[in-house]
Amino acid sequence: DTGVSQDPRHKITKRGQNVTFRCDPISEHNRLYWYRQTLGQGPEFLTYFQNEAQLEKSRLLSDRFSAERPKGSFSTLEIQRTEQGDSAMYLCASSRTNQPQHFGDGTRLSIL
Amino acid sequence: EDQVTQSPEALRLQEGESSSLNCSYTVSGLRGLFWYRQDPGKGPEFLFTLYSAGEEKEKERLKATLTKKESFLHITAPKPEDSATYLCAVQAGRGATNKLIFGTGTLLAVQP
């Protein structure tokens, strides 16, 4: 396994701008998850895909957030009109069905 | 509401000084309890999954146990390289949810 890959590792943007993050899961993992982690806290669930279908979304995922997994492989998470409160580490994880989730090293978002 | 509480928040040990980290949970229908290790600036690294009370898992100096209300991560004769944040998470509910609910972690520092 090459591990879960996330790009970019760091993103600095001005408030109000749109940002997009990419996640490449471990190959053959059919499930993909997005979490958000702030300093001193554990990761909080955002959304989950099985293959290309988005099956669950958290109430944390406001209308400004959208996630896609168009071909059941990589996924993108877009945040529109960023706000100060969006500053966090965005983590992606993948798994096989009923197997543990394996995480990438995240994208750290800083809003100026 | 499903909840995970970890204690202590921080723990400082001397090299070789064994100790335990606690994870207590209140969930409706536990499907699995997970332990992860997280180094600064990295994503969580999977350690163990426990499914039922009485279950135990071991890996090197780490041993995880599970009861109906809590889990312990025992660290035997720790080394400085064991220093990290240890996160506990649960997967709960009888529906289709696959999200992990995390605690806030225990920051472990092992001094030589």
Q: What is the pLDDT of residue B95?
A: 65
For residue B85, CA distances in Å to B10, B50, B82 come to: 9, 19, 9
> Count of A–B CB contacts within 8 Å?
53
Rounded (5°) CA angle B62-B109-A34: 70
Q: What is the pLDDT of residue A30?
A: 94
Integer distance in angstroms from the first to the last C-alpha of chain A? Answer: 36
What is the three-class DSSP state of B38? Answer: strand
Q: Tell me the per-residue pLDDT of A13-58, one tens digit each, with 9 for 90 and over.
A: 999 999 999 999 999 999 999 999 999 999 999 999 999 999 999 9
List of chain B residues whose C-beta atoms are within 8 Å of the C-beta of residue A56: 96-99
Q: What is the pLDDT of residue B28?
A: 85
Q: What is the pLDDT of residue A78?
A: 98
Cβ distance B104 to A41 less than 8 Å, yes or no, reads yes
pLDDT band at residue A60 using 50, 70 and 90 as cut-offs: confident
Residues 6+ apart with CB under 8 A from A11: A19, A21, A107, A108, A109, A110
Query: Is it the case that residue B94 has pLDDT exceeding 70?
Result: no
The pLDDT mean for chain A works out to 95
pLDDT, mean of residues B78-91: 97
Chain B nearest-CA residue for A49: B98
Q: What is the pLDDT of residue B104?
A: 98
Query: Is it the case that residue A1 has pLDDT exceeding 60?
Result: no
Selected residue of A50, A55, A97, A105 to mutate for chain B interface (largest B Cβ count, 10 A): A105
Q: What is the pLDDT of residue A100?
A: 95
Q: Tell me the per-residue pLDDT of B29-61, one tens digit each, with 9 for 90 and over.
A: 899 999 999 999 999 999 999 999 999 999 999
Q: Tell me the per-residue pLDDT of A17-27, one tens digit each, with 9 for 90 and over.
A: 999 999 999 99
Selected residue of B49, B50, B59, B98 to mutate for chain A interface (largest A Cβ count, 10 A): B98
Chain B nearest-CA residue for A91: B43
Cβ distance B43 to A91 less than 8 Å, yes or no, reads yes
Q: Which two tokens stand for residue B15?
A: 């090299």
